[in-house]
Amino acid sequence: MKEGWRWYGGFDRISLSEIAQTGASEIITALHEVPYGEVWTREAIAACRTEITSAGFGWHIVESLPIHERIKRGEGDLSALFANYRQSMANLAAEGIKVICYNFMPLLDWTRTDLAAPVTRGGSCLRFSSVRMAALELFMVERAEAEKDYLPEVVTAAKAWFDGSTQEDRDGLIHAVMAGLPGAYDRYDAAGLRSALKAYEGIGRAELRANYKRFLDEVIPAAEDLGLSFGVHPDDPPRDILGLPRIVSNAEDIGWILSAHVSPANGLTLCSGSLGANPANDVPAIARRFASKIHFAHLRNVRKDADGSFEEAAHLAGDTNMVDLVSALLEEETRRHAEGRTDYEIVFRPDHGHELLDDAAKGTHPGYPLIGRLRGLAELRGVIAALTYTRNAA
């Protein structure tokens, strides 16, 4: 397996020379400064590539080539947006990119309610509290119908939280919920969120699936021609949120996506932390079931509470058996080698990390600190080395 590291380019406080010291060899990035829907020019991609390769890294995976909200909503004439998307794909392929990671989450990306929840021995992690999310939905966005999405005791606690909250607490909550959106995105306050949600009225699961299939039909044939592979990133958390349908949340959803447009180019970004936040998801089993379609892996762990809350655990702690999951990925590598792709390596990155030691002072992107991810990467590297040794010895 090949070690990757997500880098936010000009938005990142972590430099490529610092990343070099982690031992990772692949950079995973995007042109975060380009507004959604606009073409990524060949020149801009080439400039990014030069910066990355001059620092001694490879760049073969883009995360993400974002999908415009109008495509997700299936709104109006989308021909120009699809044409732009395909033009960006062609420009990326011309610059040596092989894999495009993307997601199909309406409006938001990964969603947390607390960006610095304390960890027992010091440091902090990202946390999703059902109570705070219910408070946001019910009392800040004022979606009374959200009551049915939460346990009664969560609703009671949400009311108590809201009644006891200051304006600063509420602003902090909305800031946390928006923090998963990278780069040149739209962010909202509570009122903005309310109106953004209006644009999704009438779009349920079936409609979102139809819009997703249309997207696949528009881009996957071009991906085949260009030698690109698409890896959809699962929803995080893997459940409906703010009344918005989420359709990339479990094995059934993934099966549907892969059959909606059958092609070797239509595959998966296996994100263990996202899938692992739903107690019904057995992440190593999902990895084995869809192994041949995995184009990229995000490795991290979560610890879940009974009320639907969860927090990001250290990479080898938490509810997902990371050793079993890495075994599944190594098995898939071996299978690809047997197929003749003898030097194939699955690229993974430590996806998120705790804020540890000097991380908070550096002011890095939430979830993407230097030391916390370095710890995660080092732990994963140890697992991979040990498993590789025992497999070779067997």
Residue 233 binds ligand DNO (CB under 6 A): yes
Asked if 110 touches ligand DNO (CB under 6 A), the answer is: yes
Q: Under DSSP, is residue 269 helix (H, G, I), strand (E, B) or coil? A: strand
Cα–Cα distances in angstroms (integers) from residue 293 to residues 220, 264, 337, 356, 368, in the given order: 14, 7, 15, 34, 26
Q: State the nearest-atom distance from the C-beta of 28 to ligand DNO, in Å.
A: 9
DSSP characters for 95-107? TT--EEEEE--SS
Q: Is 354 a catalytic residue?
A: no
Helical spans, DSSP H, in the chain: 16-20, 42-54, 69-73, 79-94, 130-135, 152-163, 167-178, 190-198, 205-226, 251-260, 272-276, 283-289, 322-338, 359-362, 370-393
Q: Which residues pair with 302 in a beta bridge?
A: 312
Residues lying near Mn ion in the complex (CB under 5 A) are found at 271, 298, 351
Can you tell me the distance from the alpha carbon of 251 to that of 285, in angstroms, rounded to the nearest whole number?
Answer: 9
Taking a C-beta distance cutoff of 8 angstroms, is the pair 113, 178 a contact?
A: no
Minimal distance, residue 102 CB to ligand DNO, in Å: 5
Using rule CB under 6 A, residue 311 touches ligand DNO = no
Q: Which of 49, 295, 298, 354 binds ligand DNO (CB under 6 A)?
A: 298
| 32 classed as catalytic | no
Cβ nearer to ligand DNO, comparing 107 with 155: 107
Q: Which is nearer to ligand DNO, 123 or 180 (CB)?
A: 180
Strand 114-118 with 124-128, pairing:
antiparallel
Q: Residue 112 binds which entry of Mn ion, ligand DNO, none, with Cβ cut-offs from 5 to 8 Å by kind?
A: none
Q: Cα-Cα-Cα-Cα dihedral of 109, 111, 116, 120, to 10°?
A: -120
Select from 86-94, 95-103, 135-143, 208-216 the region that touches ligand DNO (CB under 6 A): 95-103
351 contributes a contact to ligand DNO by CB under 6 A: yes
**103 binding ligand DNO? (CB under 6 A):** yes
Name every residue whose Cβ is closer than 8 Å to that of residue 287 and which is 6 or more positions away in sequence.
270, 272, 294, 325, 328, 329, 332
For the question of residue 125 being annotated catalytic, the response is no
4 in Cβ contact with 27 (< 8 Å): yes
Are 16 and 7 a contacting pair, CB within 8 Å?
yes
Taking CB under 6 A as the rule, does residue 267 contact ligand DNO?
no
The site partner of 63 among Mn ion, ligand DNO, none (C-beta below 5 to 8 Å per kind) is: ligand DNO
Positions in 159-188 near ligand DNO (CB under 6 A):
180
The pair of structure tokens assigned to 182 is 């990278």
**Which part of the chain contacts ligand DNO (CB under 6 A), choosing from 41-49, 100-108, 152-160, 306-314?**
100-108
- 233 has catalytic annotation: yes
Decide if 352 is catalytic: yes
Site for ligand DNO contains 274 (CB under 6 A): yes
- If one asks whether residue 312 binds ligand DNO (CB under 6 A), the answer comes out as no
**Footprint on this chain of ligand DNO (rule: CB under 6 A):** 63-64, 101-103, 109-110, 180, 233, 236, 271, 273-274, 298, 351
* Catalytically active residues, by annotation: 233, 271, 298, 351-352, 368
